[in-house]
A and B are shown apart, each in its own frame.
Chain A
Amino acid sequence: DADVTQTPRNRITKTGKRIMLECSQTKGHDRMYWYRQDPGLGLRLIYYSFDVKDINKGEISDGYSVSRQAQAKFSLSLESAIPNQTALYFCATSDVAAGGEAQYFGPGTRLTVL
């Protein structure tokens, strides 16, 4: 987990507020991902980035935006938070050069929107 870090680890915010979740990695991987985890639903992809200039929507991108500031940094923003965005958020990286899509996850950010 130390290779992929996320800040903050916990965040409580109010409806309508803008918040940013940050992710940094020292693994040197090109690919980075943002997922949200909800009980019983597993991991759902919000956005993914294959390099600094290549950003793609995942299956649940509405209400979210991302920024890939550098190879090592990928931020997730909630422009106007709503209660159903309360979830556990994970950043991940992957190394295609290793021959597969093995993903390396950060420790997660627990977000509560009141």
Chain B
Amino acid sequence: QQQVKQSPQSLIVQKGGISIINCAYENTAFDYFPWYQQFPGKGPALLIAIRPDVSEKKEGRFTISFNKSAKQFSLHIMDSQPGDSATYFCAASSNPKKTSYDKVIFGPGTSLSVIP
């Protein structure tokens, strides 16, 4: 029940295209959904995050869409660039002050390649 599923495992997109990565969860106690971006040889870095009280959050070319009833959320990268080539992890957690779940659960990751 604490698992976070992520698809696709790998993705190849043309420069200027839209990259879409999907995640699904089961535990309704989760209330914080971050996305992390990891470049080769580096640690993951927080990219964007959303709480379930909103259906969409946009930061520059990156947008999270959230569907609470379906327990799904997705990352959209508009106008994808070669510099966006990285591994992306979705994650889910709950506010540790409110519930007994106090760890971040990560999806398995998506390797994105943006080709010129």
Contacts and interface: CB of A to CB of B under 8 A. Distances in A.
Interface of A: 1, 4, 40-45, 48, 50, 58, 90, 92, 94, 96, 99-108
Interface of B: 6, 9, 32, 34, 36, 41-46, 49, 51, 89, 93-97, 102-104, 106-109
A42 B89 contact: yes
A33 B44 CA distance: 13
User: Which of B89, B94, B106 gathers most chain A CB within 10 Å?
Assistant: B106
B108 A41 contact: yes
Given A58-B103, A96-B97, A107 B42 contact: yes
Contact of A40 (B9, B45, B93): B9
Contact of B93 (A90, A100, A107): A100
A49 to B, nearest CB: 12
A42 B42 CA distance: 14
